[in-house]
Structure formats: structure tokens, C-alpha cells
Amino acid sequence: MQTAFESMVSMDSANQAWSMSHALREQLVSEFEREGVVQVAGLLTPAEAVEIGTRFTDRIEADTALGHDDHVSADDVLHRYPRIVHPHREDSADGARVRDLMLDERVQSVVTEVIGPAWGAQSMFYFKPPGARGQALHQDNHFLRAHPETCLAVWIAIDDCAAENGSLRVVPGSHRQPLLCPEPADTEASFTNDQVPVPAGVPIRTTSMAAGDALVFHGSLVHGSLPNRTADRFRRALIFHFVPQASVEVASFYQPLLAPDGSPVRIGESALGGPCGTGWVQSASVGKRGRESTRSVMDAAGELTERVTAPAPLPGDDLGGDGDGGLLGRTRPEVQSDR
């Protein structure tokens, strides 16, 4: 499948300078504001994906205590391959490598285009080994609680990923809703306990990504992942979260934040709240220009249902498939020898 994004991003092989055309910048922002999610092909090179995957797999296989305790049972495959949280904070070679990637010009340029100047808030590495459960539908800013702005995820595939080995599922356009109240999830299919309800008939799209591709999405976008039903394929991912520098508070777990120059930054600490409490309610349209307004959950739910009863034309279910067009823009870097 080829979209308007194809061949519009380039990396100079001589000086590794990353550049985006004006047309790409406009389409990147447009796609993000419309869908709340955009796929960037080849943000990292295949060689980088292999190096990062090997680095963290060797590490966790040597010592599972370096992973995050999600309180899974000892017979759960995720007990053997726990996710790694905040590696960028470590005073180690692994920590330095993740910090370098978090501050890499390729990552920073995409982040800045869609939400403006930003602070790094979180890094994670997921393994998703064969047989692992997925993650129920959720919204990231339910956890980060960045206010009055939102957070942004840059989810980088380390392995090729599709439905069978547990790729991401997204609800395009759901970023226009406030943070929604979660309900109990099916823990047979999800390693997390809560899920965000999605009205019947709302399309949930399954992504397909190559190693090195990135999915960039809004903090209110409803998303999750499928179980890994393969016998021998991992679905590893390196994940970054950012918050706009216009944010005045974020949950304490994500502090200190990381400035683009690598220095630590602290802002106000947000309290529990949102639509189930008395805190902030996420706006219908928060993008690069930071537009924010408080809205009721019922109004937002009505809008989501309205789009189901009178939807715009949509492509096929697989965001990375071979259908006519694609819901997510996909960019592919090229090596240019004339610069």
C-alpha cells in the first residue's frame, strides 16, 4: 500500500540529519488531528531495531528482577519476560542508549510537529513473548494525567507485528473524547484489569507494522493490544511518552521529566481525578496548538455514537494492509546522496 506519505521523509546518509518536507509536516499534523494516531514507517532502521531488541532481551533473560512487577503468577509467560519501565533513568549503558533514542532528532521532530515543544515522560520496553496476553483497551492519559494538555505516545515496533503476534488495536477519532471511566477487563485476554468501554459498532482497527515503524498517538486515543497467539514470534516494542511543555502538571510517577537537552525538569504533580472524580476533563481537540476546553462525558459519548450511525468512509480493518488507502499515514525514510 502506498499513501501520500510515502517517500516524503528523508535521512541524509552522510551526516544522519533527519528532515521532513513541508508537505509531510502538514499531512502529519492533519492526520494526527483527524484520527489521533499516525503511523511512521522506518522511524528507526532495521539494524537499530535488532540492536535494541537484542540488548533488552539479553538483559531480561539474564535477570528478570530488572523488569517491572505486574503481579502476574509464576506460571505466566509475562513473569519470565516482564516489561521494563523507565530504562531512560538508569545510570547504565542501556539507560544512555534509551535516552539517546528518546532525544533522537527523528523522534523529537515528529513529537514537536504534532504537539509542539515537549518533555520526555516515560520509556518502556515490552516483550510480548509467544503465548502472552494482550492489554485491554485504555487511554494513556488516564495514567499520566498531564494537564491541561495531554500526553503523546511514540510506540516503536522492534519486531514485525500483526494480529497473530499481538499488534496494537486503535479506535481512530476517539482522541476527541474525554478520559472515559474504565470497567473490569477480561483478564484471560489482558494482563491489565481495566478496560475502556467502546460503544457497539465503533470500528476498532488492527495495526500491522514492520520493525522500526512507529505508531504516534494522542493520550486520549482508545487503544490496546491483542494476545500473542504464535508459537515462536515475539512482539517487542520500545515505547516513549511525552507531554507538551505547556502542561502544568503530570502524575508523580513520571517525574522528573526529561528536557530535549537531557536535563531533568519538574512541573506540578497532578492528583487523581478525571471524569470519575473531580479533576480535569480532556478536551475534544488538543493538538499542536494546545486547544483545551472542559466537556461532559455524556456529550463526548454522544458524539462518538453519532459517528457510528453516520460514519465517514473508512478503509479496511488492517491499518497497514493492502486495501484502497489507509487510515494512518505512513512515512518511509530514503537515503539521498545529493545532500
Per-residue confidence at 68, pLDDT binned at 50, 70, 90? confident
Q: Give yes or no for residue 215 having a pLDDT over 50.
A: yes
Contacts of 4 (CB under 8 A, 6+ apart): 23, 27, 329
What is the distance between the alpha carbons of residues 122 and 134, in angstroms, rounded to a whole number?
20
Tens digits of residue pLDDT in 156-198: 999 999 999 999 999 999 999 888 888 999 998 998 889 998 8
What nine digits make up the cell of 117? Answer: 515543544
Q: What confidence score (pLDDT) does residue 2 get?
A: 33
Taking residues 293-306, report their average pLDDT.
Answer: 37
CA dist 96 and 274 (Å) reads 35
Instruction: Tell me which of 1-10, 29-38, 54-63, 273-282 is least confident.
Output: 1-10
The residue with cell 539474564 is 62
The angle, 0 to 180 degrees and rounded to 10, between the axes of the packed helices 22-35 and 105-115 is 60
Please tell me which residue, 6 or 148, carries the higher pLDDT value: 148
Q: What is the DSSP letter of 44?
A: S
* Secondary structure, 3-state, 136-156: EEECCHHHHCCECCCCEEEEE
Q: Which of 210, 183, 208, 219 is nearest to 198 (CA)?
A: 183
What was the pLDDT predicted at 180? 87
Are residues 129 and 81 in contact, defined by beta-carbon separation less than 8 angstroms? yes
Q: Is 272 helix (H, G, I), strand (E, B) or coil?
A: coil
Q: pLDDT tens across 226-236, in order?
A: 999 999 999 99
Bond before 311 cis per omega within 30 degrees: no
The backbone torsions φ and ψ at residue 225, rounded to the nearest 5 degrees and listed phi first, read -145, 160
CATH number listed for the domain at residues 24-310: 2.60.120.620
Using CB atoms within 10 Å of the CB of residue 230, give its burial: 0 to 12 exposed, 13 to 18 middle, 19+ buried: middle
Model confidence at 294: pLDDT above 50:
no
pLDDT of 225 > 90? The answer is: yes
Sequence ranges of the domains in the chain:
24-310
Asked if 214 and 39 touch (Cβ cutoff 8 Å), the reply is: yes
Cβ count within 10 A of residue 266: 11
- Quick one: cell of 228? 500473542
337 and 13 Cβ atoms separated by less than 8 Å = yes
In terms of phi and psi (left: phi > 0; alpha: psi -120 to 50; beta: otherwise), the region of 28 is alpha
Report the distance separating Cα 148 and Cα 137, nearest Å: 23
Which helix (H) or strand (E) is 249 found in, with range? Answer: strand 249-250
Q: How far apart are CA 317 and CA 320, in angstroms?
A: 9
State the pairing for strand pair 183-184/194-195. antiparallel
* 109-111-112 Cα angle (round to 5): 65
Strands (E), 86-204: 118-126, 135-138, 152-157, 168-170, 183-184, 194-195
pLDDT at 21: 78
- Evaluate if residue 266 carries a pLDDT over 60: yes
d(CA 150, CA 147): 6
